[in-house]
Amino acid sequence: MIRQIWPGPERALGDDDLEQLYRYPADPRWLAVNFVSSVDGAVEIGGKSAGLSNPTDRVVYQLGSDLADVVLLGAGTATIEAFDGIHPDERTAERRRRHGLAPVPPIAVVTSGQSLPPDAPVLTGASVPTIVITSEQAPPALVAAWSAAGAEVLVAGREEVDLRLAIATLVERGFGRIDCEGGPRLFASLLEAGLVDEVRLTLSPLLVAGTADRIAVGADFLPAGAALASVLTDGATLLLRYFPSPDERNA
């Protein structure tokens, strides 16, 4: 059973409680980033995050996409994890109906143009058209191939993807509740741009060592504070929620 241990008093949480805790606020934009990590900071085992996950993590992971307007992914993560979009079960479909959401949230994939082949499952396996976010530098032939595969291509930025413009465009299109599911480089870039409103981190009770990445890699910016919002546990796994500092969130 999942229990909330902070803020107090300690209490057991049912499905409705978890749904309320992990729902998106009524803001024009709320971007929540979801990650699972080992106790010693590894973000993957054997190149994938699945080995770190467990039933407790999957409860909150599913809430992220179930309650979102759109799921945001880096192309590398989408390809490595063979992500093929959201395919709601009956429970998810009922939850989305209850919250007035579209039956299926689209996937928005951020790519420079080099890491997303046109036959990637995130394009060919998705039940609604995937949004490919790229820059003007993406090869025209590849852009055409993405479109031919059924994707909608959103160009945001000249030399590289302008994440501020990309997120603003998603919000303008009605995709204000954004669930980012990685990867580490996209997360770091979103932090650098001041676009992250909430961090949802599962600490899996595993020690991995090795050379695995941490949850944010690549961007270079001054350390920023984060306020702890809640701590949940099933006795071994920790489910943490943080809000980045106000200055960063509103940048």
Fold classification of 34-67+184-251 (topology level):
Dihydrofolate Reductase, subunit A (3.40.430)
Token output for 62:
């599913």
pLDDT score for 222 = 67
Using DSSP, state whether 244 is helix, strand or coil: strand
Backbone angles phi, psi at 12, to 5 degrees: -80, 145
pTM greater than 0.75: yes
**Residue 139's pLDDT band (boundaries 50, 70, 90)?**
very high
What's domain 80-176's architecture? 3-Layer(aba) Sandwich (3.40)
Q: How far apart are CA 162 and CA 169, in angstroms?
A: 11
- Residue span(s) of the chain under CATH 3.40.430.10 come to 34-67+184-251, 80-176
**Residue 212's pLDDT band (boundaries 50, 70, 90)?**
confident
- Side chain identity, residue 198: E
